[in-house]
Every structure is written in structure tokens, then in C-alpha cells.
Amino acid sequence: MTLSIGIRGGGLAGMAVADALTQRVPNCSVHIFDKRERLPHPERTFCFFGGSAIKEFNLPIAKEWPKVLFAGANFKRICDSSQRPYSIVHGEEYFSKTLSVLEARGVKFSWQELKVEISSNTITTNNSNYRFDIVIDTAFDVSEAKPLLWQSFAGHWITTASDRFEPGVATLMEVKPSSHRQSINFIYILPMSARAALVEHTSFCAEPMAPKWHLDLSERWLEEKGIADWQISRTENGLIPMGLAVSNRIPGVISIGSSAGSIRASTGYAFLKILRQSQEIASYVAQTKTGSGLESGNFVPSEYPIWMKLSDQIFLRALRNMPELGADIISNLLERAPEKALIRFLAGEADILSALRVMLAAPKTAMLRALSYA
């Protein structure tokens, strides 16, 4: 018996869950619906602390960094990340590879659909109604999101005529001064070689900043460092909701992705979480297909632990309440937190005790002031 599965959304979550289902569920047919054109990927990157996940998901890694750098006005710190190397996957490579695999497995795609509405067992487009045994929702409307803060960013991929970068060290945060509008500002550098890197400016803010503002600050950083021999290969920008409340799930529909709690609130990382939730959905479908019945709407992929969500909420609320203290809070945390605990915390793999050691590195007075501010 063939199990029919309909998926709304052909972005990362839609592709990942279709990949997992077609690998692990025998005799299933999958149909993906999306409003965008074929290969709807942005020119962006997926970054994460890798380790065993790279082999587990057979990821097309473009580069790994065994060391990561954090810096601020009064500190500079390089941490060993070799056990969980900071890793990058280019979006175009991931989507192209996954799309080719899915099409070879017989997955159907309906691109450029003006309307894609879903309910239990049904996906409706402008032209047709489709019935499925299972419906999965990955859609996310950024215009309707109301997170605690936004992480907005933009940067240039550049090449230089001379050696300007340290290829083995990724700069995750070079913290800049805060303001009443942006609680945390930092420069983010991913050197692909001594002469090629992503130079990006990022901000945690109440309202998203324009890409041009980020690009101007990225270029100012290059000027401050005395790097004048650079040329732009391409430019990227993005917007990530931080501390986004999980929206009301549609009865009878499995949800995954940004609106279903896949984004780590305090960091914005979501890539590996989405891949793992996709595997959970596929395992559930494979197990229940041969069992007593499939009640897909009752399944919810694993979320982040309660203690992690609470600590992330506290951190983001402090930044939102008194954004001008953001640089002090994050700089103290990055400078003082134990190295191994910090990397595990950023990777989303910390237990509650190691996470507590990281959180206690934040300046108590500044955090209390921010949290007590109404």
C-alpha cells in the first residue's frame, strides 16, 4: 500500500523532511507545493557546529574551522572547536543536491503556486484539491512573525589580492558598541582561504535593519583593518526571528520549521535541528505505518528542553529591555565562560549544568538591571 504525503513549502524544512521520508518510509509518495520558483534557495549559507552530524546527514561541507574567535572592546579569545568544528554548507549546494536526489526518487513538485492552503489530509491550490494520508506544514511568513528580537544580517563574499585572513579561525563575534536600537552588533568573518572570506555585519534588534546598513558597516570594518584590495564575489543577507512563539498548529497536520520551534532562540541556529526533526517525523511515519493506525496530527517533533527555552527567553528579554547593555552582557559572557561549555552551549548540546556555567559568566548587575526594567 502506498502512503501519500503532501508537504507545504519547498525550503530547507520541506526538502529535509522529504529526503528523510523517501529514505525511511517504503512505498510512500511525496508531493511538495511551493509559491516560489524551482530551486527556491537564497544566496545564503547554513552554519553550525558539526562533528558527527556531517557524516550522519551526508552534508556537502564547504569548509570547517577547528578554532573560533570572539572579541570585543577589551578582549580577544580563540577557542578550540576541533571536536565540533564550525562548519558551512552553501545553500545553493544543499538545495541543488537535495532536489536532484528527490526528483530521482520520484518526488513530485508543484512550483509557483499562487495559493497553498492546508488542512488535515488536504492541500488546496488555485486549481485543485489534493488528498493525502499525511499533510506536513513547513511554511513560515516572516511578515506575520512577532519574535522578542530579530537577528538581521548582510555581508559580502570577497576576494583579496594578498593574504588577509587566517583560514583556520572563524570569527563568530567581534562585538561592537550597542545602542538603543541594536542590543548586539558584531562582525562575523568566515575565511575560506587567506584571500577569500565572508565579511558580514549582524545585529540583534527590536526591528530589522536594512541590508544596506549592514553592508556599509561590513565595508567600514574592511577599511578599519586596512584591507583595500578586495572585490565582491557575491552578497548575502537574511533575517532570523529570535524567541518566536510557536504558532497554533493546524489540527491533523505535522508542523516543522521556523514557525514550529526549530530555531534556537538565543543564537538563531536551526539547520541541524530541522534535519533531526525531519528524521523524527520519518521514523514516526515508518513505525506507525505498520502499526494500528496513523494519527499524524498528534505527532510533534522534539523541541528544545524547557530549561534551555527559559534561559534563552531570559537572555533575550534582558537584551530587549535594555539594549544599550547588550555589548557588556555578551562580551562578559564570551570572555569568561568555560571554553568547552561555551562551545557546547552554542552548538545546542549543553546539559543544564554546563549551560548554567555559561549563563553565570554574564554580568549579574547588568542582567538584573535589564530584567527589572519595565
Per-residue pLDDT tens over the stretch 340-352: 999 999 999 999 9
Kindly tell me if the per-residue pLDDT of 50 is higher than 50: yes
Give the model's pLDDT for residue 297: 54
Residue 133 buriedness (CB in 10 A; 0-12 / 13-18 / 19+)? middle
CA 125 → CA 8, 206, 288, 318, distances in Å? 11, 35, 28, 43
Q: Give the mean pLDDT of 108-122.
A: 93
Q: Are 109 and 34 in contact (CB under 8 A)?
A: yes
Q: Are 169 and 194 in contact (CB under 8 A)?
A: no
Strands (E), the chain: 3-8, 28-33, 45-49, 63-65, 67-71, 76-80, 86-90, 108-110, 117-119, 122-124, 129-131, 134-137, 149-160, 169-176, 182-193, 196-205, 230-242, 254-255
Longest CA–CA separation in the chain, Å: 67
Q: What residues pair up with 257 in beta bridges, in sequence order?
A: none
Q: What residues pair up with 135 in beta bridges, in sequence order?
A: 6
Q: How confident is the model at residue 66 (pLDDT cuts 50, 70, 90)?
A: very high
Kindly tell me if the per-residue pLDDT of 293 is higher than 50: no
* pTM for the structure as a whole: 0.92
Q: Are 37 and 91 in contact (CB under 8 A)?
A: no
Average pLDDT, the chain: 91
- Burial call 71-98: b when 16+ CB within 10 Å, e when fewer: bbeeeebebebeebbbbbbbbebbbebb
Give the model's pLDDT for residue 325: 92
Q: Give the mean pLDDT of 97-109.
A: 95
Q: What residues pair up with 237 in beta bridges, in sequence order?
A: 154
Give the model's pLDDT for residue 100: 94
Q: Give the mean pLDDT of 17-46.
A: 88
Of residues 18, 293, 35, 276, the one with CA closest to residue 139: 35
CA 309 → CA 243, 276, 282, 366, distances in Å? 9, 18, 25, 21
> What pLDDT, in 10s, does the model give residues 218-269?
999 999 999 999 999 999 999 999 998 776 678 889 999 988 889 999 999 9
Q: How confident is the model at residue 109 (pLDDT cuts 50, 70, 90)?
A: very high
Give the model's pLDDT for residue 42: 62
Q: How confident is the model at residue 290 (pLDDT cuts 50, 70, 90)?
A: low
- Burial call 99-121: b when 16+ CB within 10 Å, e when fewer: bebbeeeebebbeebeebebeeb
The C-alpha cell 536600537 sits at: 181
Q: Give the mean pLDDT of 265-294.
A: 85
